[in-house]
């Protein structure tokens, strides 16, 4: 394979490194590559040569072929239909996952009231979008009334709670960085 044709493997490298509970510094030491270069690879800002990919694979106790295969799997096009033949049995009533599988983005649609009064703290940043109805949100000691089309951004770690405040049907979309993804090292 020509070095210039190496597919994107950053997400696969990051997943494998985290699965082994390794830091970028540890992988750098094992592979002989620099921490900044490894970070660029994981963030898809650089593509490793075949030789560099082999060094990374050795450091991660895998093969370059396995990383390439996992890299191909990270490029996904997936349609989630509004009316699914079978609802996700793991999802609570009134909650519909909008993204399937493990990706960097996590998105759900909430219909009706959402555990009114239950305090939530998300590890990563999130965006609430009110598609229908009216919602009251308490965050950082302040109350916000959101109506159809309004959005609210919450930084990771912000304690908040929300509830439907209108008699009309309420539908809220919550999009966030997936809980299993953290900030790059």
Q: What are the pLDDT digits (tens) for 55-69? A: 999 999 999 888 887
% the chain with pLDDT above 90: 34
Least reliable range by pLDDT among 16-25, 34-43, 173-182: 173-182
pLDDT the model gives residue 179 = 59
Q: Is there a contact between 176 and 126 (Cβ–Cβ < 8 Å)? A: yes
pLDDT the model gives residue 89 = 62
% the chain with pLDDT above 70: 76
Q: How would you write the chain as a 3-class SS string?
A: CCHHHCCCCHHHHHHHHHHCCCCHHHHHHHHCCCHHHHHHHHCCCCCCCHHHHHHHHHHCCCCHHHHHHHHHHHCCCCCCCCCCCCCCCCCCCCEEECCCCCCCEEEEEEECCCCCCCCEECCCCEEEEEEECEEEEEECCEEEEEECCCEEEECCCCEEEEEECCCCCCEEEEEEECCCCCCCC
pLDDT the model gives residue 116 = 64
Residue 2 has pLDDT above 60, yes or no: no
Residues 157-181 have pLDDT tens digits of 898 988 888 666 889 999 987 654 4
Q: What's the rounded mean pLDDT across residues 147-164?
A: 90
Cα–Cα separations (whole angstroms), residue 51 to 74, 135, 182: 22, 54, 28
**What is the phi/psi pair of residue 177, to 5°?**
-70, 130
Tokens of 158: 């912000």
Residue 7 has pLDDT above 60, yes or no: no
Whole-number Å distance between alpha carbons of 20 and 27:
10
Q: State the number of CA atoms in the 13 A half-sphere of 50 facing the CB.
A: 6
pLDDT the model gives residue 1 = 41
Q: What's the rounded mean pLDDT across residues 77-93?
A: 66
Q: What's the rounded mean pLDDT across residues 143-154?
A: 93
Q: What's the rounded mean pLDDT across residues 117-143?
A: 88
């Amino acid at each position: 394979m020509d070095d210039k044709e190496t597919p994107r493997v950053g997400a696969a490298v990051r997943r494998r490194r985290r699965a082994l509970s390794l830091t970028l510094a540890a992988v750098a030491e094992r592979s002989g590559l620099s921490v900044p270069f490894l970070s660029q690879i994981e963030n898809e800002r650089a593509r490793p040569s075949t030789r560099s990919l082999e060094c990374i694979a050795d450091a991660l106790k895998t093969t370059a072929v396995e990383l390439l295969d996992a890299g191909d799997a990270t490029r996904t096009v997936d349609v989630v239909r509004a009316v699914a033949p079978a609802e996700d049995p793991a999802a609570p009533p009134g909650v519909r996952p909008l993204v399937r599988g493990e990706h960097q983005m996590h998105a759900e649609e909430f219909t009706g009231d959402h555990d009114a009064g239950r305090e939530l703290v998300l590890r990563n940043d999130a965006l609430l979008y009110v598609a229908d109805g009216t919602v009251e949100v308490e965050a950082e000691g302040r109350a916000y009334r959101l109506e159809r089309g309004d959005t609210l951004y919450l930084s990771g770690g912000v304690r908040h709670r929300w509830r439907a405040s209108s008699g009309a049907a309420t539908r809220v979309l919550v999009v966030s960085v997936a809980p299993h993804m953290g900030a790059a090292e």
